Amino acid sequence: MRTRPLKVALLGCGVVGSEVARIMTTHAEDLAARIGAPVELAGVAVRRPSKVREGIDPSLVTTDATALVKRGDIDVVVEVIGGIEPARGLIMTAFEHGASVVSANKALIAQDGAALHAAAEEQGKDLYYEAAVAGAIPLIRPLRESLAGDKINRVMGIVNGTTNFILDKMDSTGAGYQEALDEATALGYAEADPTADVEGFDAAAKAAILAGISFHTRARLDDVYREGMTEVTAADFASAKEMGCTIKLLAICERAAHGGSVTARVHPAMIPLDHPLASVRGAYNAVFVEAEAAGQLMFYGPGAGGAPTASAVLGDLVAVCRNKLGEATGPGDSAYTQLPVSPMGEVVTRYHISLDVADKPGVLAQVATVFAEHGVSIDTVRQSVKDGEASLVVVTHRAADAALTGTVDALRKLDTVRGVASIMRVEGE
């Protein structure tokens, strides 16, 4: 074993960063044995240096992150501060001054992954980011390495624990959205401002990363269709149960049937109760992968939290340090296919549409005619009257999103349709 330690700079010492530092200290001997050399925490960049950080030598703490990554003796920079800047600039500076990088920054990788990979390759350094998607679940490395010889056709998953907790609570207790969100906040699963989670921004960043890796193409955050879950109601869950389904906020990346493009999207969807993702409860994450040779695979586990995310960071750290000792680098960016990301209008799936309608003869015929005129085939229709209010629930065969949008616009113009109560995609069948 080499006796000279590999030096690590830690950018950020919050929930995840503090766990990374703790594990590096408490598991130092094991890490050294696995790597082939000891690893040493050489500096910790923070915003508030006066805060007491248990287990961290105060002399290592600095507010000058730029000076830390410019030192020249740093072997690996671990970035867990999040956001676009200053993280992006610090990572670029780290490459320029001889360090490889381990990051948990999903937003940055989704937005600027191509430029970061190019900078790493130019300097002969590694860029690893297993912790950016699905926390502790080993996902990026299996997609990038274990399935490198296979052809992945679809990746569909629950990649945000906050939203899954809320939807699971609505499903299991009949609670409304706000009530379930309040409980998630009280238990620490939701931030004070949950917008990034419940509006799908967090999941969309992860979808962009997964699409790029799975299909060997360029996929940015702007390419991902995003729809939040704040409009999901208890009535939607009741309808889902009548169909033998539940509702999840899904990130879906798939190769088009013709093979010439891919799609990436995040939205609530009904999935059958017998689908593996339907049984994912609480704040857990799971990702379902469909590959040509390997078939169907599912990766499941805690998708957030200090210790689980730190586990993924440390796994990357071990890999990068091993590469450093072997004077090699791991897999870099793979975008050789250059497949375009198709707009949402071209996505083909099934739909569940709930309509509030007038209680009089001929309504169903009018609605069916609109669907036929727009080329959307109906699978089933359920009509009901309760307390003087009439409703129609229509489930379609597979149709393009653009065709369904045109259908709904036309339905809203009918005198007999008083409103579109909900539109939900049906996936996983």
For residues 325 and 36, is the Cβ–Cβ distance under 8 A?
yes
> Choosing from 7, 125, 206, 248, which is the catalytic residue?
206
For residues 51 and 76, is the Cβ–Cβ distance under 8 A?
no
Q: How far apart are CA 203 and CA 6, in angstroms?
A: 34
Nearest C-alpha neighbor of 249 from the set 184, 320, 314, 325: 184
Nearest C-alpha neighbor of 64 from the set 79, 44, 80: 44
182 CB-near residues (< 8 Å, 6+ apart): none
List, edge to edge, every strand of the sheet that includes 100-103.
61-62, 39-45, 6-11, 76-79, 100-103, 127-128
For residues 424 and 394, is the Cβ–Cβ distance under 8 A?
no
Helix 177-186, helix 161-173: angle, nearest 10: 130
For residues 411 and 420, is the Cβ–Cβ distance under 8 A?
yes
388 CB-near residues (< 8 Å, 6+ apart): 359
Helix or strand run (H / E) with residue 213: helix 201-215
Q: How far apart are CA 253 and CA 220, in angstroms?
A: 12
Helix, strand, coil fractions of the chain, as percent rounded to 5: 40, 25, 35
Helix or strand run (H / E) with residue 248: strand 245-255
Q: In the 8-state DSSP scheme, what is residue 267?
A: E
| Bridge pairing between strands 6-11 and 76-79 | parallel
Does the annotation count 206 as an active-site position?
Answer: yes
SS (H, E, C) 314-365: HHHHHHHHHHHHCCCCCCCCCCCCCCCECCHHHCEEEEEEEEEECCCCCHHH
Q: Mind telling me the catalytic residues?
A: 206
